[in-house]
Amino acid sequence: MLTIRDLVKVYPGPVTALQGIHLDIPQGMFGLLGPNGAGKSTLMRILAGLLEPTAGQVSLHGEDILKDPQKVRRHLGYLPQDFGFYPHLSGEKMLAHLLTLKGVTARGRSLRKLCSELLERVNLSAAAGRKVKSYSGGMRQRLGIAQAIAGDPRLIIVDEPTAGLDPEERLRFYHLLAELAKDRIVLLSTHIVEDVAVLCPRFALIRQGRLLACSRPSEAVAEVEGTIYEGSVAPEELDRLRSQHRVTQSLLVEGRNRVRIYQPEGSPPEGFLPVVTSLEDAYLVAMGNAQAGGIAEVPEGRHPNSQTEPTPQAPAPEGMS
Ligand SMILES: Nc1ncnc2c1ncn2[C@@H]1O[C@H](COP(=O)(O)OP(=O)(O)OP(=O)(O)O)[C@@H](O)[C@H]1O
Ligand SMILES: [Mg+2]
């Protein structure tokens, strides 16, 4: 169990990035879901022992991890949000370099053998000799995971690992993370609701350094069941609708706005029908509730039912050198 108590981080500025986070993270996959600037990376960097908190306590299986970050780092795998690779090194050489930096010892085996085992584990054996610059986004993330799992850590922290992956690579990455979470804590931060819906039996929602919820996806969905309605309005009617109802999503389709509204009580506007709710609905409602007097809205151009990221970055073509 990873236990986080009253964690506060104030950056110079001052910017309060974490405002007293209180969380218990059990074995398995745990999602930390929140928009840009919510404080996800700050939290993860503190847990990884790379950043000192302003206040608060963190313990892993009862051991204070803030007191001796060096010691804990040995039991920890961390994949940062922006992972730096040397593009001209092969995957295998890059991994060997990262393991050396991390201080991972091969325990009797050669470093080369250890790298080859790790590359096998993340399904990169066939690309081991290729330069990292020829890797797709997903392959790079898997290489990042290979260094994170070296030394068989009890806790793996992955910061926004699926951002920029195409759907196929994301799926492959999901399988890898799910496999890793069988016998350890895997903490995944993301702003992609689908990551949590697919992977995480438990998740926490954070925004502006505050914890909004800690729940199971199914429970979060059940909470908004029966409160979301969908209908279609002309673009000129949208402002009026917004002034009277809580619009959570809108998408322009063939010149009209397909709109979702959150209506916990009272009747919906004419022509609006109840929909089967998703975790994305729950997320948007929670964000909207947290935003004083405002509404969290999905940008135009995104399908209301879609739980995938709007613009995944295309991976570099395979075979490019
Ligand atoms: N080194 C820093 N100095 C000052 N402010 C910072 C620093 N790093 C982060 N912040 C601020 O702290 C807040 C939380 O940032 P953080 O990077 O933890 O959020 P995040 O949830 O990881 O966002 P993203 O989804 O964009 O990665 C933001 O307001 C950010 O601007
Ligand atoms: Mg971040």
pLDDT digits (tens, 9 = 90+) for 99-126: 988 888 766 678 889 999 999 989 999 9
**Element at 93 (helix H, strand E):** helix 91-102
Rounded CA separation 61/65 (Å): 10
Top-tier CATH class for 2-220: alpha beta
Q: Whose CA is nearest to atom 18 of ligand 1?
A: 39
In the β-sheet with 28-33, what is the strand arrangement from edge to edge?
Answer: 76-79, 155-159, 185-190, 28-33, 202-207, 210-215
Q: Whose CA is nearest to atom 24 of ligand 1?
A: 36
Q: In this prediction, what percent of the chain has a pLDDT beyond 90? A: 63
Q: Whose CA is nearest to atom 17 of ligand 1?
A: 41
Please work out whether the CB of residue 191 comes within 6 Å of at least one atom of ligand 1.
yes
Average pLDDT over residues 73-94: 88
| pTM of structure | 0.86
97 Cα: distance to centroid of ligand 1 (angstroms):
28
Please work out whether the CB of residue 81 comes within 6 Å of at least one atom of ligand 1.
yes
* Full DSSP string of 211-253: EEEEE-HHHHHHHHTT-EEEEEE-GGGHHHHHHHSEEEEEEEE
Length of the chain: 321
Please work out whether the CB of residue 39 comes within 6 Å of at least one atom of ligand 1.
yes
Instruction: Give the three-state DSSP class for 297.
Output: coil
Rounded CA separation 230/180 (Å): 38
Q: Whose CA is nearest to atom 1 of ligand 1?
A: 11
Q: Where are the beta strands (DSSP E) in the chain?
A: 2-11, 15-25, 28-33, 55-60, 63-64, 76-79, 155-159, 185-190, 202-207, 210-215, 228-233, 246-253, 256-262, 273-274
Q: Whose CA is nearest to atom 27 of ligand 1?
A: 36
When the candidates are 3.90.1150, 3.30.70, 2.40.230, 3.10.450, the CATH number that belongs to 221-290 is 3.30.70
Q: In this prediction, what percent of the chain has a pLDDT beyond 70? A: 90
Mean pLDDT value across the chain = 86
Average pLDDT over residues 124-135: 95
Q: In the numeric block, which tokens belong to residue 160?
A: 């926004």
40 Cα: distance to centroid of ligand 1 (angstroms):
8
Neighbours of ion ligand 2 (CB under 5 A): 40-41, 81
Atom of ligand 1 nearest to the CA of 36: 25
| 199-241 tens-digit pLDDT | 999 999 999 999 999 999 999 999 999 999 999 999 899 999 9
Q: Please say whether the beta carbons of 196 and 217 come within 8 A.
A: yes
Contact residues for 144 (Cβ-Cβ < 8 A; gap 6+): 79, 83, 161
Q: Whose CA is nearest to atom 6 of ligand 1?
A: 11
| 85-103 tens-digit pLDDT | 889 999 999 999 999 888 8
Given this chain, do its domains 2-220 and 221-290 carry the same CATH topology?
no
Structural domain boundaries in the chain: 2-220, 221-290
Please work out whether the CB of residue 13 comes within 6 Å of at least one atom of ligand 1.
yes
Rounded CA separation 148/103 (Å): 12
